[in-house]
């Protein structure tokens, strides 16, 4: 027998979950026809929902013991929800996917084939269009991927979704990365393994609305850069070097001008501008260092990544 764990992070998804459950059961059924040895478990992570998500999940579990769940004590974010799903999973293979049907279950058979028959450790999906997404968001997303790939050694794929299947070995290596500031897209790139990429067209969510505001995405992008690159830390060094060089040339210029023409340099406003500029650059660099220091501070506290209020394992015990 082979067990597939499907991990689904849910934040206020009461409308979407019934559609999702129906679709994934359909896929599971058709896959068990092709591969009779297959078994499934569906792990829903309730990421501190304030609507009826939890009762919808418990309703599903009543009739289907393949449904398991972890309910967080508050909203810990999608990254924490994925981590919790990995922790609780028991499967030989693990699939992570969204509850809103933006990750088409129909791709699952191909993904399973990649890890069982084609010798891959993982099969991941990326969308090749961003249809239905606000224009400005697409522009920023593209810029972010270009930037982070230039700055970091972790290979981060543009348009990659968190929809992927992995072998147990890969799951265990992700679980061994217990960092508090999690950026899954970077973690996948960092741990390596052989990944097959499956492409599909963007699908719009079936019900409910997106949980990611522009600001939340922006902070997530900064998190990714700080988590997987130390290049911003060297900004101060380069700024400093350039500034010293420029001012050295400036001093030479003033001395020569004085010797040749004998007139003193005039104008204090230019001086004030230069001072303000340098002060600004210094503050900026201190801010960058502060960002890293802040993350280091949080890491050093070794707080848990999530806190579960209730899990389906409680009743099994």
**Does residue 130 bind ligand UDP (CB under 6 A)?**
no
Angle at 141 (CA atoms; ends 172, 194), nearest 5 degrees: 30
Q: Establish if 100 lies at the interface with Mg ion (CB under 5 A).
A: yes
Query: Binding mask 16-55 vs ligand UDP (x if CB under 6 A, - otherwise)?
Result: -------------------------------x--------
Does 102 interact with Mg ion (rule: CB under 5 A)? yes
92 near Mg ion, judged by CB under 5 A: no
HSE on the CB side for 160, CA within 13 Å?
Answer: 21
Confirm or reject binding of residue 100 to ligand UDP (CB under 6 A): yes
Taking each helix axis as running N to C, give the angle between helix 269-301 and helix 235-261, from 0 to 180 degrees, rounded to the nearest 10. 160
Closer CB to ligand UDP, 210 or 265, in the complex: 210
Strand order in the sheet with 308-311: 195-200, 122-127, 160-167, 93-96, 2-10, 38-46, 67-72, 308-311
By C-beta, is 92 or 100 nearer to Mg ion?
A: 100
Q: Is the CB of 61 or the CB of 205 nearer to Mg ion?
A: 205
Q: Decide: helix, strand or coil at residue 47.
A: coil
Report the 10 Å Cβ neighbour count for 54: 19
Q: Does 57 bind ligand UDP (CB under 6 A)?
A: no
Give the Cα separation of 261 and 257 in Å (integer).
6
Residues between 188 and 227 with contacts to ligand UDP, criterion CB under 6 A: 205, 210-212
- To the nearest 10 degrees (0 to 180), the angle between helices 214-228 and 269-301 is 80
Instruction: Decide if residue 77 touches ligand UDP (CB under 6 A).
Output: yes
Stretch that binds ligand UDP, among 6-14, 135-143, 248-256, 274-282 (CB under 6 A): 6-14
> Rounded distance, CA 57 to CA 44, Å?
7
Fill in the per-residue mask, 198 to 217: x = in contact with Mg ion (CB under 5 A), - = not in contact.
-------x------------
The residue among 29 and 216 lying less far from ligand UDP, judged by its C-beta, is: 216
Which residues in this chain contact ligand UDP in the complex, by CB under 6 A?
9-11, 13, 47, 75, 77-78, 81, 98-100, 102, 205, 210-212
């Amino acid at each position: 027998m082979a067990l597939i764990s499907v991990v689904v992070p849910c934040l206020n998804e009461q409308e979407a979950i019934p559609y999702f459950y129906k679709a994934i059961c359909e896929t599971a059924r058709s896959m068990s026809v092709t591969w009779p040895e297959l078994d499934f478990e569906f792990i829903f992570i309730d990421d501190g929902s304030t609507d009826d998500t939890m009762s919808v999940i418990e309703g599903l579990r009543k009739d289907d013991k393949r449904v398991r769940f972890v309910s967080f004590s508050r909203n810990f974010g999608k990254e924490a929800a994925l981590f919790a799903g990995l922790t609780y999973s028991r499967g030989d293979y693990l699939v992570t996917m969204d509850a809103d049907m933006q990750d088409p279950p129909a791709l699952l058979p191909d993904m399973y084939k990649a890890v069982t028959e084609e010798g891959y450790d993982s099969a991941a999906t990326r969308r090749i269009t961003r249809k239905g997404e606000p224009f400005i968001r697409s522009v920023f997303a593209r810029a972010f991927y270009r930037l982070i790939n230039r700055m970091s050694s972790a290979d981060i794929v543009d348009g990659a979704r968190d929809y992927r299947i992995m072998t147990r070995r890969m799951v265990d290596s992700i679980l061994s990365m217990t960092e508090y500031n999690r950026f899954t897209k970077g973690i996948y790139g960092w741990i390596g393994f052989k990944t097959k990429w499956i492409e599909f067209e963007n699908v719009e969510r079936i019900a409910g609305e997106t949980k990611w505001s522009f600001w939340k995405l922006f902070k997530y992008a900064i998190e990714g850069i700080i988590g997987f690159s130390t290049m911003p830390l060297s900004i101060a060094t380069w700024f400093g070097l350039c500034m010293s060089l420029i001012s050295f040339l400036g001093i030479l210029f003033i001395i020569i001008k004085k010797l040749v023409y004998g007139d003193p340099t005039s104008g204090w406003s230019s001086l004030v501008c230069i001072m303000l500029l340098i002060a600004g650059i210094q503050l900026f660099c201190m801010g960058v260092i502060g960002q890293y220091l802040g993350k280091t501070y949080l890491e050093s506290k070794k707080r848990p990544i999530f806190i579960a209020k209730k899990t389906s394992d409680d009743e099994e015990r």
